[in-house]
Chains A and B, each alone.
Chain A
């Protein structure tokens, strides 16, 4: 509890740390006007009641997915979607992972998993490397016109990807990268750039400038300062960037299907194929299992590193 608050602070203001101490115990002079309160005060009942209701709303779809994926088709057709399974079956999961068919390929999602990993790792590394250097240059080494390019990048964040699909096909063809994994990595790097650069720029801007000056006095150059000072100080924002990119790239369908070949299709393409190939009746249970399996990687990352994410966001995005 107290640690989250500590995590949230960036430029360790004295007030913040005071509040941290206040968080642990009832403090009549606390900053949030928290009066000494009884555990079951009306305020508390209202507060937790609201939060639990909201929590239920956010959890409902996940619950429905999980419950449905363990039901058999007859039960789905008869029962309501919110009731827990009467008879638990693992069949939908097995089907989704290894048996569901698209056209002639009946090997489910398993085919796409390693492809997704292979796309994910270089894309995440490259896009973050490029964006962090961008952000660093924009924050600390402004040159004439750098802000103009930055504004163009931000503008790029608003362009629907699909609009760029066509020119990029041509661009990649001219570069000779079309259909190659490196082409896809490049595309992810390009489209990850606007938001990531914004994050990194804001973060580096918020670092105390004395550090930068001191390093300059010591004779450190562009790369020296970047590797020896900026990167070590920026772990939270790197975590945020990793999480955002892993989620975005893992969930990407459009680029994966257009800029690669079938033997490299990511998992989401398989997911789309499974969900959209209706063979006879729609197998909702298999669809839900496939959905959960595909979402497992980003979900795990969120559940594990949620704290770091919040901390990084606090550090990077808030200081506009």
Chain B
């Protein structure tokens, strides 16, 4: 199977090379601009520059997806698209695909047997609209982690917690040592994400599914959910003194031992790596807050807008193919701190935390990500709700729960 696949892929690439293919400058838009992220994207760019005759033109836009997406969308709508662009997995690009603005990758996907390679296959499903494939999943990012600073707990004279309850009970000791128990950035997506993590840890997966997948507003109003909101309110108190904006500034607080922990996705790992820290020695990570070990399989994907130029189209397909290749998957994901989308690669160099993630993935304890099940509109409403909730202590858990239920009711 594998041989056959690679043969077919080779033929395709061979065909591409044989055609009067001219070297093309491919403009690739993404919003990976933090230290670890930039190092990771360089891996793809280098591979692309070396292995093909085309060149990668980097169109990085700083300031997270919120800044970049309007630019990407207006460029595509304006009829002057980039050759490839990052989106989060799931429904963000839905309408662009439906409007026929994205390149159909189905032939390449079938030739290379993506359905057999990509693991879990739900990632490819998120790229599929009406049976056609429109994007290349590049990594798996999971939100469900808490990162703990060994230095902070040492300074406070308590053991590094191994689950959420211990974390909460260790907080007073940290406070006494003038350490912020929980570092939180102020960006809305962080507030929303952190709440989601608490939700899955405290409320469990069934509750999460019935709310987020079935959009069951009664579940959102349930007692169980009230407990989740109470836990979030407690976490809010622990993060009261954290005033940084960006997620990686909050991570920096943990790296420097100024804060005990941070609830953040596995991309935080890249920052620890850049700072030269070792998992298990300088910091630990607890998937599912150490309570409910499950990870979501969202992540980033690349879409290739339709460009009316055969040379460009060939280069786009070459890039798509390259992104799923073993070498790029390994090199990219090690730097990014995310998990590869192929089950058949060997991550020898993976560190402690990544291995934990891989094991959970292997065991099949996976869930869908928020971006896969909720559209951008609902996500934004939730972000607005939670950024207010985390920052305004007068916003009671009950009030927030009711608003939450309303949003779920309206969700499509």
Contact = CB atoms under 8 A, between A and B. Distances in A.
Interface string A262-292: 1100000000111111111110000000000
A297 B102 CA distance: 41
Interface in A88-144: 101-105
B75 interface: yes
| 5 closest cross-chain pairs (CB), A and B | A103-B60, A179-B80, A178-B78, A277-B33, A279-B35
Given A179-B80, A262-B27, A280 B35 contact: yes
Contacts of A278: 34, 246, 248-249
B227 interface: no
Nearest to B38: A103
A172 B33 contact: no
B74 A169 contact: yes
Nearest to B248: A278
A223 interface: no
A275 B80 CA distance: 27
B89 interface: no
B60 A178 contact: no
B252 A103 contact: no
Interface in B345-382: none
A257 B56 CA distance: 19
Contacts of B75: 179, 258
Contacts of A173: 77-79
A263 B58 CA distance: 10
A170 interface: yes
Contact of B33 (A165, A178, A262, A276): A276
Interface string B230-271: 000000000000000010110010000000000000000001
A37 interface: no
Contact of A257 (B30, B35, B71, B252): B71
Interface stretch (B61-69, B210-218, B306-314, B320-328): B61-69
A263 B248 CA distance: 28
Given A179-B78, A258-B70, A282-B249, A104 B58 contact: yes
Nearest to A270: B62
A238 B71 CA distance: 34
Contacts of B59: 103, 262
A261 interface: yes
Interface of B: 27, 30, 32-35, 38, 41-42, 45, 56-63, 67, 70-71, 74-75, 77-80, 246, 248-249, 252, 271, 274-275
Contacts of A178: 78-80
Contact of B61 (A104, A169, A273): A273
A102 B80 contact: no
Given A276-B62, A278-B249, 9 more contacts: A103-B58, A103-B62, A165-B70, A169-B77, A258-B71, A259-B78, A273-B60, A273-B61, A281-B249
Nearest to A281: B252
Nearest to A262: B59
26 contacts: A102-B33, A103-B41, A103-B60, A104-B38, A104-B42, A104-B56, A104-B58, A104-B60, A166-B74, A170-B77, A172-B78, A173-B77, A178-B78, A178-B80, A257-B61, A258-B74, A262-B27, A262-B59, A272-B62, A272-B67, A276-B62, A277-B33, A277-B62, A280-B248, A280-B252, A281-B249
A273 B79 CA distance: 24
Interface of A: 101-105, 165-166, 169-170, 172-173, 178-179, 257-259, 261-263, 272-282
Contacts of A105: 58, 60
Contacts of A169: 74, 77-78
Contact of B274 (A101, A258, A263, A280): A280
Contacts, number: 94
Contacts of B71: 257-258
B34 A103 contact: no
A314 to B, nearest CB: 40
A279 B60 contact: no
Q: Which of B57, B61, B62 has the most chain A CB within a 10 Å cutoff? A: B62
A261 B80 contact: yes
A272 to B, nearest CB: 6
Q: Which of B27, B38, B63, B78 has the most chain A CB within a 10 Å cutoff? A: B78
Q: Which of A179, A258, A276 has the most chain B CB within a 10 Å cutoff? A: A276
Q: Which of A102, A172, A261, A278 has the most chain B CB within a 10 Å cutoff? A: A278
Contacts of A281: 249, 252
A278 B27 CA distance: 23
A172 B79 CA distance: 9
A103 B79 contact: no
A258 B35 CA distance: 25
Contacts of B79: 173, 178-179
A251 to B, nearest CB: 17
A276 B67 contact: yes
B272 to A, nearest CB: 11
Contacts of A261: 27, 80
Contacts of A258: 70-71, 74-75
Contact of B32 (A103, A170, A172, A275): A103
Contacts of A165: 70, 74
B117 to A, nearest CB: 27
Nearest to A101: B38
Contacts of B77: 169-170, 173
Nearest to B32: A103
Contacts of B32: 103
Nearest to A165: B74
A102 B67 contact: no
A268 to B, nearest CB: 12
B60 A102 contact: yes
B78 A273 contact: no
A104 B75 CA distance: 21
A279 B61 contact: no
A259 B38 CA distance: 25
A259 B59 CA distance: 14
Contacts of B63: 272-273, 276
Contacts of A276: 33, 62-63, 67
A149 to B, nearest CB: 27
Given A103-B32, A179-B78, A279 B27 contact: no
